[in-house]
Chains A and B, each alone.
Chain A
Amino acid sequence: MQKKSRIDLPTLFASLWLCLMLLIAAAAPLIAPHDITAMDLRDRLSPPFGFGGTTVHLFGSDDLGRDVASRLYYSIRTSLLIAFGATVISVVVGTAIGFLAAYFRGLVEHFLLLLIDVQASLPFLIVALAMLAFFGNSLPLFVGLMGLYGWERNARLARGLALAAGAQGYAGATRQLGAHPLRIYLRHILPNSAATLLVAATVTFPEIILVESGLSFLGLGVQPPMTSLGVMVGTGREYITRAPWMLLSPSIVIVLTAVAVSVVGDFLRDKLDPTLK
């Protein structure tokens, strides 16, 4: 019963907002009026244009006189890039583990299922904090760590898809032809699962943005001189009384982006894959 695929108003706005974010992320070096580390100590904490500020700093300047707008564009770029990389890792790792759990019977399967259970029962933020304490922080490590977010959900999903394909379906039929398991998983099950896994990725993506900004806010994520949305909120909190704009602009971006992705994600889920909750 395919209804006419008309896009409702919230979904339309959400998509537009996401496009805008993608555009800013891509074009940050072009549209940023200032270098993100360029300090101007004579022009510190200047309010945004329209609130007593000038057009030199459209969204105001921060405690060191750096341009908030430029930093915001770059932060969007960093946060989206990290979330993107991490989502890819999460889906790839999760899918691989899920397929392994589906392929192996016996102890291997039970062990993987147990790992999945353990991860599912621990809040990811705590695990991430512990890993940061154990291994220290660097950008590649941080992206890899964020990539662990949601792997267990993706693994469960991938395992379910593989089991369904195997039981009566095309995967069992291909095994019966004499195909090697690698062929069955890579040539048949993976392409057939791609759409569902893609939808799952739209769920993972905004959640990673939130975790990343949370950790960066705590000063344990993205490290200066790089900046991300969470870093900006973290710095802004010190000046909450004198310069609330430092905090508000990245906060608004975080909230709107998270809401937008979840609205668009709901839409995609309804359209692409009615079996996903």
Chain B
Amino acid sequence: MTLLQLEKVSRRYPIGNPVFGLRSFLTAVDQVSLEVRKGETTGVVGESGCGKSTTGRLALGLEQADSGHVLFEDKQLAAADTREWRAKRQRMQLVYQDTLAALDRRMTIGDLIAEPLVIHDIGDRASRQQRVLDLLYAVGLSEHHRALYPHQLSGGQRQRVVLARALAPSPSLLVCDEPVSALDVSVQAQIVNLLVDLQQELGLGILFISHDLRVVRHVSDRIVVMYLGQVVEHGRADTVIDQPMHPYTQALVSAMPKLPGGFDHYLPLPGEPPSPTERPSGCPFHPRCHLAKDICRQTQPELLPLGPERRVSCHLVSNP
């Protein structure tokens, strides 16, 4: 069952001065379509600045799309900061990367986890206390953490707190924006496994955002590869990893540790990811693509379907 659906969603940000002629826009998210199903995870991967976080905020309705639709549980989201919108927060929650900033440092862990319950007026004082305790255990913390403050915990423990807080109002959708990128590798695995366990237990739909394909691959049922605000490849996780079609995805996959059936050789990804303020002509990836041809510099390839749930945007794939 489809929980969340983005249909050709775009978001532009104004840059420069509005009055004296210098106003222009950068397109952070460009015609992105994706879906998250109940109990499943959709991973979004791409280099920093490619519009992943913006996509996440659009999915949650924290920002308004300039065009396109966001459907959550088959309904369009209410405008941000209305009463209806606020009530909807119960059902969809965000998990942050920077946990130290996201947690009010003057509140105890117990109060922080209870806050969404208070906000949405769920249960009475006693039942909230019990719920906080249950959540603490569910994310692998214990009762004594309840009275501590955020800065007294380690990064991994804080990420568990953020997770517990997001789970408190029993949402059906989690958007996890780089949830483990700030953590040590060993801790990353713990948190990722916790997330997978909780998902199975609670039947959550997850939009999992990361620049790290290894992590995304580990949790995702479906993978969306983004480049400069656009989706360049989309498909089931195993097909995208085993048979990447887009040269950009191929480069990302080849940089991962060797996988059975994967690429033998490393495809270098030259240059820096370009800024959305200076979008190249034609295929946005062409300045870094080792396969680029003339047509790539002139016309932009379309995102064309290539079998069930599979879409790729590359001239070489659509007409080799």
Contacts and interface: CB of A to CB of B under 8 A. Distances in A.
Q: Would A and B touch once assembled, by the CB under 8 A criterion?
A: yes
A196 to B, nearest CB: 13
Contact of A192 (B102, B104, B120): B104
Interface stretch (B41-49, B80-88, B246-254): B80-88
Contact of B119 (A170, A177, A191): A177
B86 A168 contact: no
Q: Give the interface size bracket for A toward B.
A: 10 to 19
A58 B89 CA distance: 70
Interface of A: 168-170, 172-181, 183, 188, 191-192
B172 interface: no
B102 A180 contact: no
Given A168-B98, A181-B81, A174 B89 contact: no
30 contacts: A168-B98, A168-B101, A169-B101, A170-B101, A170-B105, A172-B102, A173-B96, A173-B102, A176-B62, A176-B89, A176-B93, A177-B89, A177-B93, A177-B119, A178-B86, A178-B87, A178-B89, A178-B90, A178-B119, A178-B120, A179-B86, A179-B115, A179-B119, A180-B86, A180-B119, A181-B81, A183-B119, A188-B104, A191-B106, A192-B104
The main secondary structure of chain A at its interface with chain B is helix
Contacts of B287: none
Contact of A174 (B81, B90, B104, B120): B104
A170 B102 contact: yes
Contacts of A173: 94, 96, 102-103
Nearest to B88: A178
Q: With a 10 A CB-CB cut-off, give which of B60, B105, B115 has the most chain A CB atoms.
A: B115
The main secondary structure of chain B at its interface with chain A is loop
Interface string B144-167: 000000000000000000000100
A153 B102 CA distance: 27
Given A168-B98, A173-B96, A178 B116 contact: yes
A162 B219 CA distance: 36
A208 B62 CA distance: 43
Contacts of A172: 102
Contacts of B101: 168-170
Contacts of A169: 101-102
Contacts of A176: 60, 62, 89, 93-94
B88 A170 contact: no
A174 B169 CA distance: 13
A173 B119 CA distance: 13
B115 A177 contact: yes
Contacts of B103: 170, 173
A177 B102 CA distance: 11
Nearest to A170: B104
| Nearest 8 A/B pairs, CB to CB | A178-B89, A173-B102, A170-B104, A178-B86, A169-B101, A177-B116, A179-B119, A176-B94
Nearest to A179: B119
A169 B120 CA distance: 21
Contacts of B87: 178
